[in-house]
Chains A and B, each alone.
Chain A
Amino acid sequence: MDYEAVIGLETHVQLKTRSKMWCGCANEFGAPPNTNVCPICLGLPGVLPAANEEALRLTALTGLLLNCTVARHAKFDRKNYFYPDVPKNYQITQYDQPSTLTGYLDFEFEGKMARVRITRAHLEEDVGKNFHFERNSGVDFNRAGVPLMEIVSEPDITSADMAYTYLNALKDILIFGHVSDCDMEKGMVRCDVNVSVRPKGQKELGAKIEIKNMNTFSGVRRALEYEIPRQIDVLNKGGKLSQETRRWDDAAGITGVMRTKEYAHDYRYFPEPDLMPFEPTEEWLADVRKRIVELPLARKQRFMATYSLPSPDAETFVNDRPLADYFEKAARGAQNPKAVANWVINNLRAKLTESATSLDAVRIQPEHIQELISLVDSGKISTKIAQDIFSEMFENGGSPSMIVEHKGLAQVSDTSAIEQFCDEVIAANPKSAADYKAGKVAALNFLKGQVMKASKGKANPNLVGEILERKLKG
């Protein structure tokens, strides 16, 4: 029988705020254990949470970037469970009235556009981190109370590769929107994977298996590459699958049972009485809307459409925003934006890397790139000379026309002058001339080179070729 996988992802992302969700402690990775803590994030007796408004803004912004509705009435709830890394033994989260809901994320997958619907993006608090030593354990609460956003997808994902691509597209959006740094090394993104399989064409979903706490995207892909065939195999052998939570063992490359349905938690959610419901005003939302940025995919499509760029060039500009901004200035009103892109990507970027200069410090005015291109196009200078002028512009700035004039670099297109150079070269190199006449075509290139040398590179190479040929054949 043919099976298909049905996958939904719950992605947890640490928000890029200065302070934690409920207190003023720094939201910062890498501090010595239990140094970014206070009575509030330690859940000491008597403390209360006070919501970090920037975290609420970033959640609303994410909702907007993911085409969600931003709720006009959201609230926080307590999720009750005992675990040493949860200081209050309940986690403050948003249960049935989240900040944002029902959106979607479009991304390129296998050469086509794919869409995964977003159920919700809600705000909660991160927990501490357990450490196990030889004889005892410890908890670092630096991470406890860091604002954490959970983005829940609908089960629209059908393969391990698609899950991987979705996660990367999501990450790009969050980085672009300055919502999160999404640094996987620092544990800023974690994922729970819900996966089931069903016979192709069947409507009902199979038993939902949850794989908890994945912290790399490649891990998610590998876990799914293992888990989907495992489930199919069970069914093919006549076995039954039932709802359970599994753990991914990265070293062994397998998933193993963590707990079955009978041991599922009853989290006893109820509204958090210490926090008022959050009801954003129109003004507040307008402020958040001002922070909407152009998303990677939209940006790529715009670069391809507006500037007729090929996909790799557009991608370069999606990934390098300062370079893209420079390009957009340089390409304003350009006849041939692709030529501008070539100069910016091939020449400018190379020079920046070579000289370890940042774009802010660059001396070349963006509008001078087009001027340089038109000097070449009009035949005033050769492409070779253009390279030299570009170097000069990079070193000292200035307009390319001025440099050409100043240094007398204009290309010689005066036929009589070139004819004279050609006559001299033919006279000085009788052997080569004879070779060409005898059918050795390569000899022409040698003679051409000699003419260019005699003209100090300023002769128009096309004219040189034409004239030499005429003279030798004649």
Chain B
Amino acid sequence: MLNQLTISELHAKLTKRAVSVREVVQACLDQIKRVDPQVRAFLSVDEKDALAQADIADKALAAGLPQPLLGIPIAIKDVLAVKNHPLQCGSRILDKFVSPYDATAIAKLRKAGAIIFGRLNMDEFAMGSSTENSAFGHTRNPWDLERVPGGSSGGSAAAVAADECIASLGTDTGGSIRQPAALCGVVGVKPTYGRVSRYGLVAFASSLDQIGPFTKDVRDAAILTRVLAGHDPLDSTSVQGPVPDYRADLTGNIKGLRLGLPKEYFIGGMDKEVSAAVQAAVKQLQSLGAEVQEISLPHTDYAVATYYIVATAEASANLARFDGTRYGMRVEGADPNELYTKTRGAGFGAEVKRRIILGTYVLSSGYYDAYYLRAQKVRTLILQDFLKAFEKVDAIVTPTSPTPAFKAGEKSDDPLQMYLSDIFTISCNLAGICGISVPCGFTTNPKLPIGLQLLGQPFGEGTLFRIAHAYEQSTDWHKQKPEWITKQS
């Protein structure tokens, strides 16, 4: 079953010419046909285009071009621009919009030889933690179809967990890669802010958004992150400097590495099985030679509030362009204002509207200092917490999410409960540091994946891969799949 393999496994088979790219792509398309009616990870798949790319890749393979992702099918979250593909961000307001250009991340994948295919479901404009906010229906968790895959990159996580693609791209503004990765039992990386170009990522919160990979193991995450990373003249916030080959960090040796457990993250309210799995993972890391110590991130309590001010403020401006005049949906009006109001009223979902209103409010005259400016100051304090901690430790270990996947509808009427599901992931974006979620166990009844989060210093992705890889090598959590997903059809 080619669709079940990892990038490195496939790369070996493809370069040996043991299989063709067409076979690999076909295996993914077949799996989508078989399981996606239940999982609903994909909004659309352009089969013809995917197979055409496969044929080109097969020719390149015959010519012996050793590109790192040659022939690897990678599916894309609906928030990233792919030339001539729909770009809707899970929203009606971008009805029929087709991107005329490639995001830099997509261009880099292409250059590395990847097959870019499919549009993956997401919470509308990446606002949500369950993929229930998509205008095009819910995505379901492959481990339990009654449960959510997490969000906002729920489609990206579910597609990889269901072996519908080899890897996928998502975006992470407050946990939107790591939380669904944890809930679906795959690996998800939020690179350091500035590590990956945001050009072509439809912005939710510009100062928090990063593109990152979903993969089946840590090695694939290291390979894909390397391809995506690097300065881009089209994104002034992307950072100059060399991109290391993260595969060199996958030594399996973490002896003497110092890990910090933030005491603020291990308090009441956490699911017992999640807590136990994380504790066990910490023990496992210790047995591999890591030194563990308690640390403090004193401003943790303010992270969620700070996040919902900064993120919504930026979103209120970022989403202003969707007004019905130039592209996407339009509801006619007697004058421009009426056209805007009607279009936006009909085009945006409730959560998006809630955040635009909140963001507009915190920026308005007379409130700016009390909310936005203050939130920016708290943000600096949160970063300082981390930088201080990284003087003592090489990485920080936490649960990714306080609970395993919850049932669809369980939190969708209570935005505050929903916001709290990102409580462990949000600080990482506010501080601009990097993070990864790796599978670290399962709940028993039902069997649901649990994620372990590692947070690293700015541009410390290598260290995270090293730890996560060593841990992964000593466990088999990442190899477990929902039975019906691997069943032969």
Contact = CB atoms under 8 A, between A and B. Distances in A.
Given A80-B320, A270-B363, A276-B236, A47 B199 contact: yes
A89 interface: yes
Interface in A12-46: 39, 42-46
Interface in B268-301: none
Given A39-B100, A51-B236, A270-B317, A46 B201 contact: yes
A211 to B, nearest CB: 23
A84 B324 CA distance: 10
A82 B317 CA distance: 10
A88 B321 contact: yes
B236 A47 contact: no
B372 A46 contact: no
B336 A46 contact: no
A45 B360 contact: no
B369 to A, nearest CB: 12
B323 A45 contact: no
Nearest to B235: A48
B363 A268 contact: yes
B358 to A, nearest CB: 13
Nearest to B81: A46
Given A82-B336, A82-B337, A268-B364, A87 B321 contact: yes
B259 interface: no
A82 B340 contact: yes
B187 interface: no
A139 B336 CA distance: 12
B100 A44 contact: yes
Contacts of A266: 364-365
Contacts of A268: 316-317, 360, 363-365, 368
Nearest to A23: B234
A90 B314 CA distance: 11
Given A51-B236, A266-B365, A270-B363, A46 B203 contact: yes
Number of chain A interface residues as a range:
20 to 34
B336 A84 contact: yes
B326 A42 contact: yes
Contacts of A50: 233-236
Contacts of B364: 266, 268
Contacts of B320: 80, 82, 88-90
A49 interface: yes
Contacts of A44: 99-101, 327
Nearest 3 A-B pairs (CB), nearest first? A89-B320, A273-B206, A268-B363
20 contacts: A43-B326, A44-B101, A45-B87, A45-B97, A46-B79, A46-B80, A47-B200, A48-B235, A48-B236, A48-B237, A49-B236, A90-B320, A268-B316, A268-B363, A269-B363, A269-B368, A270-B313, A270-B368, A274-B203, A275-B237
Interface of B: 79-81, 87, 89, 94, 97, 99-101, 103, 198-203, 205-207, 233-237, 313-314, 316-317, 320-323, 325-327, 336-337, 340, 360, 363-365, 368, 372
Interface of A: 39, 42-51, 78, 80, 82-84, 87-90, 139, 266, 268-270, 273-276
Given A47-B199, A89-B320, A268-B360, 8 more contacts: A42-B326, A44-B101, A44-B327, A45-B321, A47-B200, A48-B235, A268-B364, A273-B314
